[in-house]
Amino acid sequence: MSERTAVERVDEPVTVSSLVADLRDVGVTAGETLLVHSSLSALGWVCGGPQAVVDALRTVVTESGTLVMPTHTGQYTDPAGWSNPPVPEAWVERIRETRPPFRPDVTPTRGMGAIPECFRTYPDVVRSDHPEVSFAAWGADADAIVADHGLDYGLGENSPLARVYDRDGSVLLLGVGHDSNTSLHLAEYRADVPTETAMNHVPILEDGRRTFVEYEDFETSTEDFVDLGKAFTREHEVTTGTVGTGDATLVDQRILVDFAVDWFEANR
């Protein structure tokens, strides 16, 4: 969506203060652990752009709570499998060998949207060190949530997703649907369903030197996440509302993940 179109969609600009009011109306509260998935363009014309959204979320959650966002880096997946866009086969090995090392402090997100990319740059935000599926966090439990993010099975038991689950956190879908809901990947890892694994080989910076790490992971899929979300909504209470001009959904992550485990076992 162009900025002109965003301006034409609204009667007045979306501001930090209006976002704070909208988030509170949806049910976001001070002191909670909140995992956010977002689309800036869905919120209308936001005065201050992604910074305004991050500031509003921090204002509502407060330092007594913890704000978490995915900061994934698809540029560190295996280039042999890239499709958006694909690269020539002759490039694959060169890409593997010449990519800059992943560095949590500086490596940009890819495909995550403007809000998490802005959030990760705040000086008091910490980021996990997984080179492909990192998360960033701010607030009371931020360090504990991003610490010790396991390389193998990066969205499983040794991930920030599981740490949010341990803290009975909530998931806020801000202008996006369940197809963007990474907590459903945690359920994939926990469900007793057939899976395939693959290895990835990526450069990181270790003790100031570029080195390679190799890790194993499941072949995850989001193809049925929308159907799962609809099934969850039919059986469980969810809180919905509007933030800016975008639809917002707030759900209990633990209830959602537990439901999704059963749903995957019944439907996959």
Integer angstrom CA distances of residue 209 from 43, 97, 149: 42, 14, 20
Tell me if 22 is assigned to some domain: yes
Does the residue 158 lie in any domain?
A: yes
Kindly state whether residue 212 falls inside one of the protein's structural domains. no
pLDDT digits (tens, 9 = 90+) for 12-27: 899 999 999 999 999 9
DSSP label at residue 142: H
The Cα 79–Cα 87 span in angstroms is: 7
Beta bridge partners of 202: 213
Mean pLDDT value across the chain: 95
pLDDT at 1: 65
Any domain includes 215: no
Number of structural domains the chain divides into: 1
pLDDT digits (tens, 9 = 90+) for 24-72: 999 999 999 999 999 999 999 999 999 999 999 999 999 999 999 999 9
Q: Which helix (H) or strand (E) holds 85?
A: none
Residue 128 CB neighbours (<10 A): 23
- 63, part of any domain: yes
| CA distance between the termini of the chain | 35
Residue 183 domain flag: yes
Tell whether 213 is covered by a domain: no
Confidence label for 80 from pLDDT (cuts 50, 70 and 90): very high
* DSSP letter for each residue of 193-251: ----EEEEEEEEEETTEEEEEEEEEE----TTHHHHHHHHHHHS--EEEEETTEEEEEE
The CA distance from 137 to 125, in Å, is 6
Residue range 198-209: average pLDDT? 93
Assess whether pLDDT exceeds 70 at residue 74: yes
The whole-model pTM stands at 0.95
pLDDT exceeds cutoff 80 at 203: yes
Let me know if residue 127 belongs to a domain.
yes
**Tell me: the pLDDT tens digits for 82-136?**
998 999 999 999 999 999 999 999 999 999 999 999 999 999 999 999 999 999 9
Q: Is the pLDDT of residue 139 over 70?
A: yes
Domain of 74, in residue numbers: 3-194+222-267
Residue 2 is predicted with a pLDDT of: 74
Percent of the chain with pLDDT over 70: 100
Task: Give pLDDT, residue 249.
Answer: 98
